[in-house]
Structure formats: C-alpha cells, structure tokens
Homo-oligomer: A and B are copies of this chain.
Amino acid sequence: MRFKERIEKFVTRLNLSELNAYICTDASNIFYFTGLPSPATLLVRQDGSATVYTPPINHAVAEKEAPPNVEVVQTKIGSSVEVLLADILSQLGGMVGIDKLDVETHKKISGLISGVELRPQSRLIWEMRTAKDPSEIELIKEACLIADRSMRAAADLLVPGIMESEVRAELVAEIYRRGGQEPAFTPIVAFGERSAFPHGPIQKGVSRDRVLKRNDVVVIDLGVKVEGYCSDITRTFYIGSEMDEKLRNVFEAVLNAKSLAQSIMRPGVSCSYVDDMARDSLSNKGLDPYFIHSLGHGVGLDIHEPPRIGPGSQDQFMENNVVTCEPGVYIAGEWGVRMEDTVLVTEDNVIPLNSYPLDEHLIY
C-alpha cells in the first residue's frame, strides 16, 4: 500500500534527523501520507506510529480509509488548531517538526505549553514529494491526457465570433466530462491583446469578456486534477493563415527556448541554470526582456510546488521530478506567446507528459 510505505520511508528520514516526531497540517502533505481529505492533522512519531486527528465532518471517511499504520482520533467541531497542537505536543517533549506554522498560531501554542520545541521544516517532506513514485506518475499522466483533450475541445471552438467565456465554459465542462476531478486552476483563455497578460485578463481596467477576431493570438493555459494530482499545459494559437514576421519569429524563439531548456533538465543540474539557458536563447533575438516570469515549477499534489525553475533558485533537478517548462514572450498591447508542457525528468531523459502538438498554432 503506497500510503503505508510513504509513512515508513518518512519515519526512516525522521530517525536520521534531530526531530522526535513530525506534524503535518497542510492538506497536500496529509493526502500524500494518508490519502485522507482535510481538514485533518497528522502526527508521525519516531517509533513509526502515526495518528490522524479529524473533525467530525471527515471522521467516517478517515475511519474507513486510513492506512493500516495510522490511528484515527476524532476532534470536536470548531476545535482550534492551537489547542489541538498543544495537546499533541504535551505528550511528546523534545523537538518536534512541523510542515507549516504561522507566527500567530506559534505564539498561541507557546502560551499553552512549554518544554517542547516546535520546529517548522518543510524540506524533510519536499525531499520525498518532489521525486514522484510510479503511482503518482500514472495519475499525472492521466491528468495530462485529460488536459490535452480539453485543449482540443477549446481549440476546436476558436472561430471568429466566439467569446472567451464560451471557450472557458466548454473547456472546463470537458475536464469534468473526461473524468477530471476538477481544473487544477482557473483556466486562462485570452484573446488578442489580452494574451499579453501572462495570468490572463482578470484584473480591473480590463473588460470581463472579449469576442474572437481574425488575426488574433489566443493563449490557453489549463490544468487538470486527477485523484489529487495536477497537470499544466499552455498552447498559443494564431487565428489566421499567415502570421506576420515579428509574430512568427516569436513563436519560433519561444519553441526553441522550450526545446533547449527541456533538453538539459537532468538530475543534479541546477534549476536556475536551465532558466538562464532559456533566457539566453531568447536573448539571441532580443526577446529576453519580454520573458517576465520564471521558466517553470514542480507539479504534483500542488499545481505550484518545488523545484522552482527560475532566476536565483537554489533547487537542483532530481530523478522523477515532474515540472513545467513554459517560456513566454509578452508584448504589451499586442499579444503574448507561451508554450508549456508538463514533463518528467528521468536519469537520462526528459519525457513530455502532454501530447498536444506544438506545431499546430495556425487556426483558420
């Protein structure tokens, strides 16, 4: 059973650390170790025993579905995190790790109990979560497949006269129809000059919707969740039979940067180096000032998770990382071009998990 094994593997790491127990409060971490929904709190002890604390709303599910090595304890409706954590800590003593803790909660706990040090340390979990196991890779592949098909459904609608909102509606409906659990994030569908906003046309000062016109550039960025696991893909289309030279050059430059960056992702390689190389590739055409975000990010139970592939990142690639590669060039007032796939980093290769074609940008 994968959840049981993950806890066992984590306990081995815990025993090598200075911590005598570890508490998870983050929904993705709890799901990773138990498959259970949040709200919940998970305690893992050095001796290998684990307890999940669940409020009544999730208790029946936890009782039925908790891994065999996890005890289930019911908490009260509305019981506060600080009281629960202080309660847990009072039985432990020593130094206890935790995945996430805000200063306000920490202060309240310190007021309730002494003699135990609560030490936030997310690294211990990320070292495991960033290297995906086979069952995780299967789910991400399925999420990528549904994303590809939803991209197809969206692209098929790109006929002048349609509204952004109609494409967004159909695209998300397709995600659910194809068996996706939910979109991994609100999809971006941006027509024309609105494609120059990397996050889509959602800010004030921009109208809520726009009609598609001939010669528009269209950016579609979507993700799908399957049993908790995310995918992420972007395609840029041109609504016409022939792009002008400037736009054609940008498409080419973005695809080149993407292909170069993907070709050098390997275990041990620094993430900031790969980002640098993508930027260098764009700078050959003077386009690097228009690449205004990081090259990519890890994808798993969270849509944005380590490693960070961007300037100044301290992360290195590891075997079985699943990450995005998504260079983009944005010319304000005109258009933006971004191409993105979710890829798997293996020992000697990079495998794109999306299969929607990269050379299909002309729609007419």
Contact = CB atoms under 8 A, between A and B. Distances in A.
A183 to B, nearest CB: 8
A209 B37 contact: no
A57 B200 CA distance: 11
A37 B202 contact: yes
User: How many copies make up the complex?
Assistant: 2
A64 interface: yes
B58 A199 contact: yes
Tier of interface size on chain A = 35 or more
A283 interface: no
Interface string A292-309: 111000000000000010
A161 interface: no
Of the candidates A80, A102, A166, A208, the one having the most CB atoms from chain B within 10 angstroms of its own CB is A102
A80 B227 CA distance: 31
Contacts of A122: 104
Main secondary structure of the interface of A (DSSP, over half): loop
Given A78-B311, A102-B120, A166-B177, A64 B199 contact: no
Interface stretch (A87-95, A168-176, A352-360): A168-176
A172 B176 contact: yes
A211 to B, nearest CB: 14
A77 B202 contact: no
A169 B179 CA distance: 10
Nearest to A60: B332
B209 A179 contact: yes
6 contacts: A57-B292, A61-B197, A61-B203, A165-B179, A173-B173, A181-B208
Given A64-B205, A104-B121, A173-B173, 8 more contacts: A35-B203, A77-B294, A77-B311, A78-B308, A78-B312, A102-B120, A103-B106, A103-B120
